[in-house]
Amino acid sequence: MAKVLVLYYSAYGHIEKMAEAIAEGAREAGATVDIKRVPELVSEDMARTANFKLDQAAPVAQVDDLPGYDAIVIGTGTRYGRLTSQMAAFLDQTGPLWARGALNGKVGGAFASTATQHGGQETTLFSIITNLLHLGLIPVGLPYAFQGQMRLDEITGGSPYGATTIAASDGSRQPSENELAGARFQGRHIAEVATRLFG
């Protein structure tokens, strides 16, 4: 049975919902799953003023948690087509893990959210995947076996590099059922690959 960590940063709750769907899919594949978030960097007053979602139940991760998992799936919103500073700050602390190869050969994955269709979904995924590769993880995306990413009858997220959602510039759009299905598919796929490698 693979042990999977879904590690995320979510300012407004969109990535939190996607993280729950990733975890659901991984559990469907028989994995043991933990969902953890990275620390917030802005003050509570600033977060409240910006209407951040402050009631997230997931515990805050520690860098030293990461080696205990067979697979690590990282999700974040986007900032100018790249990962958020909160996620970057967390990953920037993994140097000691990198130095000793603590994550070499583990399975990795990425998922993301942007305000618009063209707001940097794939570049944000690649900014996460770059970190995964530097840390020695084997990235697993969202293959076209998930047909939902090929839909033309609705605006939808999703890419072969990972599950995504579109939030709208005011955060009013929540992940669609198709986007959540893509996240569940990716979570299940990552858990299946990790089980083949480590199970």
Strands, E assignment, 59-169? 71-79, 82-83, 107-114, 138-139, 163-166
173 is in an annotated binding site: no
Rounded distance between C-alpha atoms, residue 167 and residue 174, angstroms: 6
98 is in an annotated binding site: yes
The three-state DSSP-derived secondary structure of 68-82 is HCCEEEEEEEEECCE
Give the Cβ contact number of residue 98 at 10 Å.
15
9 is in an annotated binding site: no
169 is in an annotated binding site: no
Q: What are phi and psi of 29, to 5 degrees?
A: -85, 5
Using the structure block, give the residue that is written with the tokens 């970057």: 88
11 is in an annotated binding site: yes
Q: What sign does the CA torsion over 167, 168, 173, 179 have?
A: negative
141 is in an annotated binding site: no
Give, rounded to a whole angstrom, the gap between the first and last alpha carbons of the chain: 5
Rounded distance between C-alpha atoms, residue 177 and residue 131, angstroms: 29
80 is in an annotated binding site: yes
What are the structure tokens assigned to 180, written together?
């959540």
172 is in an annotated binding site: no
77 is in an annotated binding site: no
Which residues are annotated as part of the binding site for FMN? 10-15, 78-80, 134
Please give the annotated binding residues for NAD(+), written as ranges: 12
Annotated binding site for substrate: 98
Annotated binding site: 10-15, 78-80, 98, 134
